[in-house]
Amino acid sequence: SDDLLRISDLRVSFRVGGLTARLAGRATEIEAVSGVSFNLQRGTTFALVGESGSGKTTLARTINGLQPVKSGTILFEGQELQGLSNAAMKPVRRRMPMMFQDPIGSLSPRLSVRSLLSEPFVIHGLSNRDLNAEVTRLLTLVGLPREFADRFPHQLSGGQARRVGVARAIALDPVLVVADEPTAGLDVSVQGEVLNLLNDLRDRMGLSMLIITHNLHVVRQIADRMAVMYLGRFVEQGETEAIFRAPHHPYTAALLSANPEPDPDRMRQRITLPADVPSLLARPKGCEFHTRCPQARDRCAVDAPIPAAVGDSRLTCHFPLNT
């Protein structure tokens, strides 16, 4: 098959609380990612969607080797990543860089764009290349004039800074870019430009992308497939267009209904979810979404649904919608 990345039954946990919590016999381990499975095909974009705390960033960091795996497998280009040493992960990260939120704001304001774009080559022992030529090539790829090499971060607009971040991510010809909220903090029009750039690079360079976002407009503009996360699990995954047309999981339906639809014929009734997101320390019994689910029935509070195929989607619900 053409799967670039295959994730199977992945679990990631954290220890929380100190000695007091342990002495009190309270749970000291929380599972931030719980039995997640998906495949990402070459040349496609997969979006992880969910509220903050749903585990989407932890999942992406784990795939990138920044967080240890509890169990499950991560196959990237046929290679199992779980258990690789930091040294062994280095060439993998070169093929699968992670683009963080505000990718250059976190770096030294005293570094010029030229230095920022040269850095990946230096880190990976490629400083023998013609770095000026590489910097010009990268600026051109992301649609910035070559003179920008001499600018400093404070001289860039939000959109220009994001382009420099993209240029850093693609510097070493990766096959997969993992992007955490690639448009956070940008105006809607600038968001559109950055998404067009990412789509364009995907097509021109044959890139694959894993996008983490809570913004459903972003998902629809960029992702071929998507997964909705709740308390560390995938509650629904499938083709983006199919999910937008007819979400099967009540949580997906609620998220989509909160997102104004540009086409008035398809205007949805807004679904407001009651209650707050439960804590990972006190996961609800049965279906973990039943405390907030508008569709919940008696069975949901006692009997946990198991992921199952519905058409092209996989979802975790006893009473799916739109079937």
Q: Is the Cβ of residue 13 or residue 295 nearer to ligand SF4 in the bound state?
A: 295
Give me the residues paired with residue 156 across strands: none
Q: Is the Cβ of residue 150 or residue 303 nearer to ligand SF4 in the bound state?
A: 303
Q: Is the Cβ of residue 220 or residue 233 nearer to ligand SF4 in the bound state?
A: 233
Q: Is the Cβ of residue 238 or residue 250 nearer to ligand SF4 in the bound state?
A: 250
Q: Is 247 in the site for ligand SF4 (CB under 6 A)?
A: no
d(Cα 320, Cα 247) in Å, to the nearest integer? Answer: 9
Q: Is 305 in the site for ligand SF4 (CB under 6 A)?
A: yes
| Among 237, 300, 313, 314, interactor with ligand SF4 by CB under 6 A | 300
Q: Is the Cβ of residue 24 or residue 306 nearer to ligand SF4 in the bound state?
A: 306
Q: Is the Cβ of residue 11 or residue 318 nearer to ligand SF4 in the bound state?
A: 318
Name the segment binding ligand SF4 (CB under 6 A); options: 11-19, 35-43, 157-165, 284-292. 284-292
Vertex 10: Cα angle to 230 and 321 (nearest 5)? 35
Q: Is 11 in the site for ligand SF4 (CB under 6 A)?
A: no
142's tokens: 């992301």
Name the segment binding ligand SF4 (CB under 6 A); options: 7-15, 71-79, 87-95, 286-294. 286-294
Least distance between ligand SF4 and beta carbon 301 (Å): 8
Q: Is 307 in the site for ligand SF4 (CB under 6 A)?
A: no
Least distance between ligand SF4 and beta carbon 56 (Å): 19
Q: Is 65 in the site for ligand SF4 (CB under 6 A)?
A: no
| Among 296, 307, 310, 311, interactor with ligand SF4 by CB under 6 A | 296
Q: Is 14 in the site for ligand SF4 (CB under 6 A)?
A: no
Q: Is 319 in the site for ligand SF4 (CB under 6 A)?
A: yes
Q: Is 295 in the site for ligand SF4 (CB under 6 A)?
A: yes
Q: Which residues contact 108 (CB under 8 A, 6 or more apart)?
A: none
Q: Is 290 in the site for ligand SF4 (CB under 6 A)?
A: yes
Q: Is 250 in the site for ligand SF4 (CB under 6 A)?
A: yes
| Among 208, 293, 313, 314, interactor with ligand SF4 by CB under 6 A | 293
Return the HEC string of the chain: CCEEEEEEEEEEEEECCCHHHHHCCCCCEEEEEEEEEEEEECCCEEEEECCCCCCHHHHHHHHCCCCCCCEEEEEECCEECCCCCHHHHHHHHHHCCEECCCCCCCCCCCCCHHHHHHHHHHHCCCCCCCHHHHHHHHHHHCCCCHHHHHCCHHHCCHHHHHHHHHHHHCCCCCCEEEEECCCCCCCHHHHHHHHHHHHHHHHHHCCEEEEEECCHHHHHHHCCEEEEEECCEEEEEEEHHHHHHCCCCHHHHHHHHCCCCCCHHHCCCCCCCCCCCCCHHHCCCCCCCCCCCCCCCHHHHCCCCCCEEECCEEECCCCCCCC
Q: Is the Cβ of residue 114 or residue 290 nearer to ligand SF4 in the bound state?
A: 290
Binding site for ligand SF4 (CB under 6 A): 250, 287, 289-290, 293, 295-296, 300, 305, 317-319
